[in-house]
């Protein structure tokens, strides 16, 4: 009696198993004979994403804490503080779930008995806590239920950030019609994002529980929908903010033109944090549409660290734009560095030819000191003029004394009585208050 022929089984190479396991929930290799260590976990894309998110959270937390301790957080409006605190809390929740998946949940699936790995004996008690030996299709391709909420937390972080930046962009757009168009576009993009990451969560839960609904929106397609629309929203917000700021501030003064350049750089830098990561993950999810294609796991590294990037982007936008506006040259308001012009009253009577006189005072660029005329002792006064301006002052003839003429004494004096004339302040551009 002949033995039956062997049937070819579906066997995965060891590197595929290491790759898949590392992509989900292992952080340490299997100790073989106390020396060899399998390093599939280090190559896992999700493990790289976990590590990147933990590092970004540390950067965000350090900067945010220092910002709050200096009292600068209180200077923001209520909406800005709310957005910063929400993103901060979502980042901690997301990172906590990453740590759970990386260091806690995997340890629940360790081998309960001794066995062989690559022909070498090992004892189960020598295994680290976070070692997964569950190589079923569900465990490799779907993870556990808790893992499915990672896209939701990551997506919510992006939605909160984009909603806050959208409110700023709406305040900058000069046309009411364009505001409605931009608001509708952002509403569609945010709704599409929400649909994408919620559908990915639901689809993943179905896979874990053994149910596979027959619908066209697969897990990877859901991720692609979320990541594509997220990147589009980031770029759209940056473009609208930059163009609106340029239209409102360009040519106002030299100082506002300098502020304009800095704010535009901040807007594009804010989008660069996330808009460079999301499209790569979306391309991978679009290229490998099959949910059980292990090559699609490479896209996880590009969206697992986006919450930290969104937090840093929102923080740097809020802090940098505020500092740029606060540190602008003080030419929009009358300050001590601007000249104070005194019109001296003399004891001469005016003639009856005209009832009003028009004094034209011209300020020239430069600086220096001036002394008063008459019998008083002059006191030098340093004057710095930031711009050239012509001021016309009309006063009743009977209330003024002094020699006739179309010029007045523009020197600063410490003696006598006179009117104090200050050059009119340029109005502060309202667009700066919206940054």
The values of phi and psi at residue 341, to 5°, are -105, 130
Residue 112 has pLDDT above 70, yes or no: no
The answer to whether residue 433 sits within a structural domain is no
50, 129, 197, 218 from 45: Cα distances, Å: 9, 21, 19, 20
Q: What is the mean pLDDT of the chain?
A: 66
Residue 384 has pLDDT above 90, yes or no: no
Residue 90 has pLDDT above 90, yes or no: yes
Query: Do 36 and 141 fall into the same domain?
Result: yes
The answer to whether residue 435 sits within a structural domain is no
Q: What is the pLDDT of residue 259?
A: 63
If one compares 156 and 372, the residue with the highest pLDDT of the two is: 156
Residue 165 has pLDDT above 80, yes or no: yes
pLDDT band with cut points at 50, 70 and 90 for residue 290: confident
List the structure tokens of 307. 């919450």
The answer to whether residue 353 sits within a structural domain is no
pLDDT in tens, 345-361: 444 444 444 443 444 33
- Distance, in Å, from the CA atom of 308 to the CA atom of 154, rounded to the nearest integer, reads 9
Q: What is the pLDDT of residue 413?
A: 41
Residue 309 has pLDDT above 80, yes or no: yes
Which stretches of 28-175 are DSSP H helices?
40-43, 45-69, 78-99, 137-142, 150-172
Q: What is the mean pLDDT of residues 372-396?
A: 52
The answer to whether residue 239 sits within a structural domain is yes
Most confident range (mean pLDDT) of 150-164, 271-285, 296-310, 337-351 is 150-164
Number of alpha carbons in the 13 Å side-chain half-sphere of residue 101? 30
The answer to whether residue 144 sits within a structural domain is yes
- Distance, in Å, from the CA atom of 273 to the CA atom of 287, rounded to the nearest integer, reads 23
Q: What is the pLDDT of residue 203?
A: 86
Element (H, E) at 269: helix 254-275
pLDDT band with cut points at 50, 70 and 90 for residue 327: low
If one compares 159 and 409, the residue with the highest pLDDT of the two is: 159
Q: What is the pLDDT of residue 87?
A: 94
pTM over cut 0.85: no
List the structure tokens of 158. 């992006």
Q: What is the pLDDT of residue 8?
A: 53
Query: Do 316 and 365 fall into the same domain?
Result: no
Q: What is the mean pLDDT of residues 145-160?
A: 91
CATH of the domain at 133: 1.20.1070
If one compares 274 and 412, the residue with the highest pLDDT of the two is: 274
Query: Do 414 and 306 fall into the same domain?
Result: no
Query: Do 44 and 118 fall into the same domain?
Result: yes
Query: Do 423 and 313 fall into the same domain?
Result: no
The answer to whether residue 247 sits within a structural domain is yes
pLDDT band with cut points at 50, 70 and 90 for residue 403: very low
In sequence order, what are the residues at sequence separation of 6 or more whose Cβ sits closer than 8 angstroms to the Cβ of residue 159? 190, 193, 194
> At 434, is the secondary structure helix, strand, or coil?
coil
Q: What is the pLDDT of residue 276?
A: 79
- Whether 331 contacts 79, CB under 8 Å: no
- Distance, in Å, from the CA atom of 330 to the CA atom of 279, rounded to the nearest integer, reads 42
- Distance, in Å, from the CA atom of 47 to the CA atom of 49, rounded to the nearest integer, reads 5
Q: Which domain holds residue 363?
A: 341-348+358-371+379-428
Sign of CA dihedral 260, 261, 267, 268: positive
Residue 122 has pLDDT above 50, yes or no: no
The answer to whether residue 83 sits within a structural domain is yes
Residue 228 has pLDDT above 90, yes or no: yes
pLDDT in tens, 133-143: 454 555 555 66
Residue 226 has pLDDT above 90, yes or no: yes
- Distance, in Å, from the CA atom of 23 to the CA atom of 277, rounded to the nearest integer, reads 18
The residue among 215, 27, 12 whose CA lies nearest residue 105 is 27
How many domains does the chain contain in total? 2
Query: Do 178 and 82 fall into the same domain?
Result: yes
Query: Do 58 and 129 fall into the same domain?
Result: yes
pLDDT in tens, 203-222: 888 877 777 656 667 888 89
> At 273, is the secondary structure helix, strand, or coil?
helix
pLDDT band with cut points at 50, 70 and 90 for residue 60: very high
Which stretches of 327-357 are DSSP H helices?
none
Residue 408 has pLDDT above 90, yes or no: no
The answer to whether residue 294 sits within a structural domain is yes
Residue 105 has pLDDT above 70, yes or no: no
Query: Do 288 and 402 fall into the same domain?
Result: no
Q: What is the pLDDT of residue 370?
A: 40
pLDDT band with cut points at 50, 70 and 90 for residue 230: very high
- Distance, in Å, from the CA atom of 410 to the CA atom of 416, rounded to the nearest integer, reads 14
pLDDT in tens, 8-17: 545 555 555 5
Q: What is the mean pLDDT of residues 402-411?
A: 44
In sequence order, what are the residues at sequence separation of 6 or more whose Cβ sits closer than 8 angstroms to the Cβ of residue 72? 319, 322
Query: Do 126 and 268 fall into the same domain?
Result: yes
Q: What is the pLDDT of residue 109?
A: 42
Q: What percentage of residues in the chain have a pLDDT greater than 90?
A: 17
Query: Do 309 and 384 fall into the same domain?
Result: no
Q: What percentage of residues in the chain have a pLDDT greater than 70?
A: 47
Q: What is the pLDDT of residue 26?
A: 37
Query: Do 171 and 238 fall into the same domain?
Result: yes
Query: Do 384 and 321 fall into the same domain?
Result: no
Q: What is the mean pLDDT of residues 357-378?
A: 41
Q: What is the pLDDT of residue 152?
A: 94
pLDDT band with cut points at 50, 70 and 90 for residue 251: low
Q: What is the pLDDT of residue 254?
A: 63
């Amino acid at each position: 009696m002949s033995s039956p022929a062997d049937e070819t089984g579906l066997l995965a190479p060891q590197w595929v198993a290491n790759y898949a396991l590392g992509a989900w929930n292992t952080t340490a290799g299997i100790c073989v004979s106390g020396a060899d260590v399998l390093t599939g976990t280090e190559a896992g894309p999700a493990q790289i994403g976990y590590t990147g998110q933990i590092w970004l959270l540390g950067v965000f937390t350090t900067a945010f804490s220092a910002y709050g301790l200096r009292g600068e957080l209180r200077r923001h409006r209520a909406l800005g503080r709310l957005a910063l605190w929400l993103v901060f809390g979502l980042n901690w929740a997301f990172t906590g779930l990453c740590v759970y998946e990386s260091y806690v949940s995997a340890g629940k699936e360790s081998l309960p008995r001794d066995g062989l790995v690559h022909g070498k004996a090992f004892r189960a008690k020598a295994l680290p806590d976070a070692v997964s030996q569950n190589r079923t299709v569900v465990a490799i391709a779907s993870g556990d239920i808790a893992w499915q909420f990672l896209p939701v937390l990551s997506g919510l972080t992006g939605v909160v950030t984009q909603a806050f930046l959208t409110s700023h962009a709406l305040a900058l757009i000069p046309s009411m019609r364009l505001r409605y168009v931009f608001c509708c576009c952002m509403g569609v993009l945010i709704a599409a994002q929400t649909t994408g990451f919620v559908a990915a969560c639901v689809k993943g839960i179905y896979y874990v529980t053994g149910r596979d609904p027959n619908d066209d929106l697969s897990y990877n397609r859901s991720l692609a929908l979320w990541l594509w629309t997220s990147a589009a929203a980031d770029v759209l917000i940056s473009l609208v903010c930059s163009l609106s700021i340029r239209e409102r501030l360009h040519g106002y003064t030299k100082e506002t033109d300098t502020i304009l350049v800095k704010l535009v750089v901040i807007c594009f830098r804010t989008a660069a944090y996330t808009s460079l990561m999301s499209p790569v993950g979306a391309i991978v999810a679009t290229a490998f549409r099959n949910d059980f294609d292990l090559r699609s796991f490479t896209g996880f590294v590009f969206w697992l660290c986006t919450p930290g990037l969104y937090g840093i982007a929102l923080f740097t936008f809020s802090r940098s734009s505020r500092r740029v506006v606060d540190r602008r040259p003080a030419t929009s308001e009358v300050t001590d560095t601007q000249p104070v012009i005194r019109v001296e009253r003399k004891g001469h009577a005016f003639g009856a030819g005209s009832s009003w006189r028009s004094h034209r005072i011209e300020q020239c660029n430069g600086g220096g000191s001036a002394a008063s005329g008459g019998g008083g002792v002059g006191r030098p006064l340093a004057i710095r003029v930031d711009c050239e301006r012509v001021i016309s002052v009309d006063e009743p003839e009977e209330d003024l004394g002094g020699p006739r003429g179309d010029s007045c004494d523009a020197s600063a004096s410490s003696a006598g009585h006179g009117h104090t004339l200050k050059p009119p302040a340029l109005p502060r551009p309202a667009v700066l208050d919206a940054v």
